Amino acid sequence: MSRHDHTRIRWGILSTGHIASVLTRDLALLPDEAAVVAVGSRSLAKAEQFAADYQIPRAYGSYAELAADPEIDVVYVASTHNDHLASARLCLEAGKAVLVEKPLTVSAAEAEDLITLAGSRGLFLMEALWTRTNPLLRRAAEAVEAGELGAIRHVTASFGFAFRGEKTHRLLDPDQAGGAILDLGVYPVHGVNLFLGEPDELYGFGTLASTGVESHAAALLTFPGTEFRPPATASIVCSLEADLPTRLEVQCSDGSVRLDNFLLPDEMTLVRGIGDHREEETLVTQWSGGGYTFEISEVNRCLRAGELESSLVPWRDTLAVARTLDRWLLSIFPPLDPEL
Ligand SMILES: NC(=O)c1ccc[n+]([C@@H]2O[C@H](COP(=O)([O-])OP(=O)(O)OC[C@H]3O[C@@H](n4cnc5c(N)ncnc54)[C@H](OP(=O)(O)O)[C@@H]3O)[C@@H](O)[C@H]2O)c1
């Protein structure tokens, strides 16, 4: 039993950017289970404006003041990637549970630090990989895991759009840990991880924007065989240069799964059988708002149950994905040879 059993979970919002607004609007759709009680920004004026926009009782002009608020159960860290580690650490050290936007941090070493801190303090921590809380994607994973479609052989996943914004935008800014891989590639890597786990080999490729960050990247991944399947493969692509389909497909020896718009799927096609013996089943789901209510409810559920991590986005998978992102980046930006 936890202290959150019978009350609404009290949320604090850290930062006032785009996704902070979207999630705050979705929190308002769950008034029986959650309440946003405070917002913190590097600027008091922005925090006050955000609080006025969303009827939030308290506004702070620093992240530290938000973290110190004793009337908050969980902080949603929605700052730019480069800030995730510092802000999440600040909140954990102040005794708060934390939901941190994707990617959890900018490297596997940082992710490990944060997870170790949460574990040692007995506090909840989750990477806000909302996609993994969607019922359709969960059903797809169950079907493959149960062997309903035969042995898994290959997964493809892609996400990208032709970005036409300013060079100073966070997506292209190296100082804000910009680039396609950490921002967009994290979704295909998580999508593949859900079905195949961590790759043993990664062969990556990428091209750079004029700011020096990668703006288009692809990789071929290989996975060792297990007791239940032979070795398998995956291919992933992300791009800030082209409108790629937001698609995830899982090819198995006796069927397949296809999710268009896999970040927020409302429809999934399960194909059972091959050739003339194929049977297609289409499954649908619905949500209200921006699609983040599944993730919010999962956080609330974990806090009520006293769980430190979500079984839908477990620390093990966040770490495996972080290591894969490291390797993908390393394949494009090899370290300088210290001998030279
Ligand atoms: N789950 C999803 O669907 C989804 C969608 C979009 C983005 N995201 C993730 O959410 C995070 C934020 O993305 P966003 O699109 O909301 O970005 P954004 O609109 O640029 O907002 C980011 C906020 O971060 C804060 N911040 C802290 N340190 C900063 C720094 N050094 N430079 C600039 N801003 C800084 C700022 O808030 P204050 O000025 O108030 O302090 C800023 O408003 C990213 O990690 C991204 O990957 C997730």
Q: What is the pLDDT of residues 122-154, one digit of tens each?
A: 999 999 999 999 999 999 999 999 999 999 999
Contact between 133 and 313 under an 8 Å Cβ cutoff? The reply is yes
Ligand 1 midpoint to CA 178 (Å): 11
Ligand 1: atom nearest CA of 16 is 40
Ligand 1 midpoint to CA 283 (Å): 33
Query: What does 149-160 look like in DSSP terms, one character per residue?
Result: T-SEEEEEEEEE
CA distance 187 to 128: 11
Cβ within 8 Å of residue 124, ≥6 positions away: 74, 97, 98, 118, 299, 302, 303, 307, 308, 309
Q: Is the pTM of this model over 0.95?
A: yes
Our answer on whether the CB atom of 16 is closer than 6 Å to any ligand 1 atom is yes
Our answer on whether the CB atom of 246 is closer than 6 Å to any ligand 1 atom is no
Our answer on whether the CB atom of 131 is closer than 6 Å to any ligand 1 atom is no
Residue-range domains of the chain with CATH: 9-131+292-308 (3.40.50.720), 135-284+322-332 (3.30.360.10)
User: Atom 25 in ligand 1: which residue has the minimum CA distance?
Assistant: 79
Size of the chain in residues: 340
Ligand 1 midpoint to CA 6 (Å): 32
Our answer on whether the CB atom of 81 is closer than 6 Å to any ligand 1 atom is yes
- Pick the closest to residue 129 from 109, 104, 112 (CA basis): 104
Q: Hey, which of 14, 15, 176, 296 would you mutate to test ligand 1's pocket, going by the most ligand atoms within 8 Å of its Cβ?
A: 15
In 91-106, which positions are buried (b, 16+ CB within 10 angstroms) versus exposed (e)? bbebebbbbbbbbbbb
Query: pLDDT tens for residues 63-82?
Result: 999 999 999 999 999 999 99
- To the query of whether residue 46 is one of the catalytic residues in this protein, the response is no
Query: What does 5-69 look like in DSSP terms, one character per residue?
Result: TTSPEEEEEE--SHHHHHHHHHHTT-TTTEEEEEEE-SSHHHHHHHHHHTT-SEEESSHHHHHH-
- pLDDT tens by residue, the chain, 340 residues: 455 655 899 999 999 999 999 999 999 999 999 999 999 999 999 999 999 999 999 999 999 999 999 999 999 999 999 999 999 999 999 999 999 999 999 999 999 999 999 999 999 999 999 999 999 999 999 999 999 999 999 999 999 999 999 999 999 999 999 999 999 999 999 999 999 999 999 999 999 999 999 999 999 999 999 988 999 999 999 999 999 999 999 999 999 999 999 999 999 999 999 888 899 999 999 988 999 999 999 999 999 999 999 999 999 999 999 999 999 999 999 887 767 6
Ligand 1: atom nearest CA of 186 is 47
Our answer on whether the CB atom of 300 is closer than 6 Å to any ligand 1 atom is no
